[in-house]
Amino acid sequence: MFNRAEARIDLERISANIKHLKQLSSTPVMAVVKADAYGHGLVPVAKAALEAGATSLGVALLEEAITLRQAGITAPILAWLVPPGSDYTLAVDNNIELAASSIKALEEIGAVKSEFRPKVHLEVDTGMTRGGFLAEWGKIDGHHVANLDIVGIFSHFARADEPGEEQNQLQRNRFKEMVATVESFGYTNIVRHLSNSAATLKDKDSRFDMVRVGIAMYGLSPDVKTLGDSASLGLQPAMQLRAKLHLVKSVPANTPVGYGAAAYTTAETKLGIVAMGYADGIPRIAQGAGVFVDGKRAPIIGRVSMDQFVVDLGADSGASTGDWVIVFGDGATGEYTADDWGAASGSINYEIVTRIGPRVPRIYAHHVN
């Protein structure tokens, strides 16, 4: 059994988060499980979310949707990053709903020959200036959608994690205008969805017919600075990342550590070599994070390497070679969190959990101290 490192995923916490978000929003929930369920494991998380009350699943890629179908999941699935030239027939044959943000996509999806009629959500750009119809919006006419079932319309907030920002209101108003245009064509029974996790938590006016929850269902705050941490939002972080101490060694003061001798010990201390590195998703740039072991935090010293990084355990540490350390968890016992690692890397908690690589097995179990 390989046990160098592990990501422990508590599916009960994911279930609790889904139930909390559903109750808070009083709106059907789409569980967003793209990017291997934000690093938590696509199929197990999708099943747990549906069992907890999510009514549909959202993914970015067609291959993610196909994987879910192959796992026996029959719930509605929306895939929203399936560009022209993709195998739309495969999607339609597997009853996968598709997002379209260009006339070319509408034309190619409409040309599919299948026993099923293609189901499409129109993606509209209301101010994110990323995906979604913008300049082409006024050019859509009846023949572009003649062979399609338009079942939804959606957009994405750019600043929902900043609740007071005027852009949120502008985007909401623009979305309503674009919905009205679609309804004027006779599509009056479509699912309107705009809210991401932040809007689901803080913006009741943007929930419409369905909310799309991503980071919040994994128990993480969309933005700790503007919205508060997980606990304050009623969320339970689902991932705990652990690794083994490959080696513990005592070193004198002024000992250089790691590539480039980028750091030196300031006093006699014990160093721990943690058996994870940037090949596993530990950010090479990280400074100011570390691990939790022997009841206290041990910060990174030196540069993160491909397969390992070094932490300063302190001269009085009781940690030993072979001990488990917590790289990040929910912070309840003092350990670093995904938020801490994001800040230490000039990034966000989304990236920290999503980047944990395939060399790290996902263990579906409760967290351990």
Active site residues: 34, 259
In whole angstroms, give the CA distance from residue 195 to residue 205: 9
Q: How far is CA 130 from each of CA 127, 348, 351, rounded to the nearest angstrom?
A: 8, 20, 19
Q: How far is CA 29 from each of CA 25, 52, 188, 298, rounded to the nearest angstrom?
A: 9, 10, 20, 39
Residue 118 amino acid letter = P
Nearest of 39, 87, 40 to residue 65 by alpha carbon: 87
Q: Are 104 and 140 in contact (CB under 8 A)?
A: no
In whole angstroms, give the CA distance from residue 64 to residue 62: 5
Residue 81 φ/ψ, nearest 5 degrees: -130, 65
Q: Are 258 and 302 in contact (CB under 8 A)?
A: yes
In whole angstroms, give the CA distance from residue 48 to residue 274: 32
Which residues are bridge partners to 245 per DSSP?
A: 274
